[in-house]
Chains A and B, each alone.
Chain A
């Protein structure tokens, strides 16, 4: 192999490269701090949160506490349709120990509003189950708030009411 002589880089090229390097560094740093959901379109985030909401309702029906534990933030604010406020631990414990069975949770079309790192889901679902040997049916209106935290969407507040006008 022959040694190829390297021509010296002209001074103005050196300066330009430094400027480009500085620009690239700023660009990379900016990209790293952009919230993850903004890299996609708003509608794709809405779609993802909608899927999570459906998965949450399904996990609630199946009393799948492990799935719910991963979806719910530890500081979750939970309000039952009768106005009782529960912590995440209370909600999961109640679900685990409840005697009744939820046979079906049928959500109606829901709306999702995305505001940067926050997504609001509003909708109605119909719940059918058995409690104390008796069949029950209730309609619930809910508003859930999700936030993008530590690389994933988690539910931070879930409020519901059985009064539907």
Chain B
């Protein structure tokens, strides 16, 4: 009986402190959320975007603007339609955090003129209150010759 009590106590502790999921699970979940992010941004689904971002999100736009979550949402609502394609991405889990790096292509209209930009993004996701949220995101405009590297 005594042994059972100890075992139960240790089991409770182990469960409480166990990581939320395995690295592979975390990486695939976050990559799915990245795809969702692209679609939500493209269709300007602000509700979906809101659920993906942490309240203290730090975001650097491809043009270098530093933005808060509220500013990102307002900007998404204000700009004209953008075609966003994630061309490649890899994810790496560190406990309750996942780093995603990839290349995206942005196609749209600005000032009546079409544009096509490529950016390298690095996103940091964190497992919080039972779900993954993005806490930091930076997209760097890619210059000619930096695509293959």
Contact = CB atoms under 8 A, between A and B. Distances in A.
A165 B101 contact: no
Interface residues of B, number: 42
A159 B139 CA distance: 8
Contact of A79 (B54, B137, B140): B140
A42 to B, nearest CB: 12
Interface residues of A, number: 40
Contacts of A85: 101, 120, 149
Interface stretch (A47-55, A56-64, A96-104, A115-123): A115-123
Given A120-B135, A159-B140, A143 B10 contact: no
Interface in B54-77: 54, 56, 58, 60-66
A128 interface: no
Given A26-B9, A145-B136, A33 B58 contact: no
Interface of B is mostly: strand
Interface of A is mostly: strand
Interface in B97-114: 97, 99, 101
A147 B97 contact: yes
Contacts of A115: 54, 97, 126, 128, 135
Nearest 8 CB-CB pairs, A to B?
A83-B142, A163-B64, A159-B122, A83-B146, A159-B138, A161-B140, A165-B65, A84-B146
